[in-house]
């Protein structure tokens, strides 16, 4: 449902006292951030906060039913049972200490606790010199190829020369879709035919990137989860090629998850984390769900930082994930 621009009082603004200097600077640098973030997370915030307000309606003191209802709200927002229980206990402890009697203050305590939990996982620091190599993993259908295009556009906006590698050789459609995005973005895509060895594609891409003096190589991978052993073997081979042919490059592995799949995405994340070291998560299709709690569950249960949010189908529909703005 489209957001009504006339209802300005419904837009959740971040309290000035909770802003960090670096967040204010980042907001100025990315003028379209709030528009995209509100499109992607407005439903999540509204649903959660309205329910918290309902739980506190007309009360001057907290009771056990309030916390039970808060627990139900968090679980229904895809935070998961363990994460929800931990957050409720944190909120209970602080709310009772302060003798909270308003939904506004309860909301603020909940936002602070969510932000604190998310801030416990710092963004990965890239080691290495030279170009950046981003390995993108995720199951078929999560929006992986589109997410790669968004990462490429972001790199272009930062002045980087970008190359893509079609390492998902199992599906012809994946190769064709990445090639199409490459044409749209004006980015070279290294690819072979369906059924080709992914390791060979990655080998060619690394040497092509070196020859053309690229700043950033983004590699797509197959997303089959029929057997973990097969996935492990395939990604393991790709990683060995990368380590052998580009030992000095900065490297990161980003897992793409579909926000609309809820707790199923957690199961996918656990599988990939067992197969390959994950540096961070790109949560796609955030604009298609009113349940954003999976971001918190990923951080709490899997100890993986969420780096980006996909908030639309266009190449520039990608925003950096900011814990305090998400939670507030």
**Along the 328 residues of the chain, how does pLDDT read in single tens digits?**
444 443 333 322 333 333 344 444 444 444 444 455 444 444 455 555 566 666 556 555 677 888 888 888 888 877 788 888 988 998 888 887 877 667 777 778 888 888 888 776 767 777 667 899 999 999 888 889 999 999 999 999 999 999 999 999 988 899 999 999 999 999 999 999 999 999 999 999 999 999 999 999 999 998 876 566 777 788 889 999 999 999 999 999 999 998 888 778 888 888 888 888 899 999 998 876 656 677 788 888 888 888 998 888 889 889 888 877 776 6
Q: Which CATH number fits domain 33-119: 3.40.50.1220, 3.40.35.10, 3.40.630.30, 1.20.120.140?
A: 1.20.120.140
Indicate the SS3 state at residue 252: strand
Q: Which of 247, 250, 314 is nearest to 287 (CA)?
A: 314
Domain spanning 132-278, CATH class: alpha beta
pLDDT in the model for residue 13? 32
Spacing of C-alpha 194 from chain mean position: 29
268, 138 Cβ separation under 8 angstroms = yes
Tell me, what's the pLDDT at 255? 95
Residue 202: partners with Cβ closer than 8 Å, 6 or more residues away: 165, 167, 219, 238, 241, 242, 245
Tell me the pairing of strands 306-310 and 318-320: antiparallel
The confidence score (pLDDT) of residue 10 equals: 30
**Extents of the domains making up the chain:** 33-119, 132-278
User: What pLDDT shows up at residue 122?
Assistant: 67
Q: Phi, psi at residue 62, to the nearest 5°?
A: -90, 150
pLDDT at position 3, please? Answer: 44
């Amino acid at each position: 449902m489209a957001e009504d621009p006339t209802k300005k009082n419904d837009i959740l603004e971040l309290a000035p006292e909770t802003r960090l200097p670096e967040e204010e600077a980042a907001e100025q640098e990315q003028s379209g951030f709030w528009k995209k973030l509100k499109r992607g997370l407005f439903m999540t915030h509204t649903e959660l906060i309205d329910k918290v307000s309902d739980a506190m309606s007309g009360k001057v003191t907290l009771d056990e039913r309030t916390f039970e209802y808060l627990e139900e709200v968090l679980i229904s927002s895809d935070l998961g049972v363990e994460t929800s229980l931990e957050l409720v206990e944190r909120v209970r402890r602080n709310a009772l200490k302060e003798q909270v009697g308003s939904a506004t203050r309860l909301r603020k305590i909940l936002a602070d606790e969510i932000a604190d939990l998310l801030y416990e996982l710092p963004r990965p620091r890239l080691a290495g010199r030279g170009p950046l190599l981003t390995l993108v993993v995720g199951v078929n259908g999560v929006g992986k190829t589109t997410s790669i295009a968004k990462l490429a556009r972001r790199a272009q906006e930062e002045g980087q020369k970008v190359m893509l590698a079609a390492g998902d050789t199992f599906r012809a459609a994946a190769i064709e879709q990445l090639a199409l995005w490459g044409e749209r973005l004006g980015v070279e895509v290294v690819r072979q035919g369906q059924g080709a060895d992914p390791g060979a594609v990655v080998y060619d891409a690394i040497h092509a990137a070196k020859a053309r003096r690229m700043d950033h190589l983004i590699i797509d991978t197959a997303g089959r989860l029929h057997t973990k052993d097969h996935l492990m073997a395939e990604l393991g081979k790709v990683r060995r090629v990368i380590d052998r042919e580009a030992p000095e490059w900065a490297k990161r592995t980003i897992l793409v998850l579909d926000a609309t799949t809820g707790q199923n995405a957690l199961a996918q994340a656990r599988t990939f984390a067992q197969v390959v070291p994950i540096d961070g998560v790109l949560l796609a299709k955030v604009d298609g769900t009113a349940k954003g709690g999976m971001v918190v569950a990923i951080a709490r249960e899997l100890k993986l930082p969420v780096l980006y949010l996909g908030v639309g189908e266009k190449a520039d529909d990608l925003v950096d994930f900011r814990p305090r703005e998400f939670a507030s």
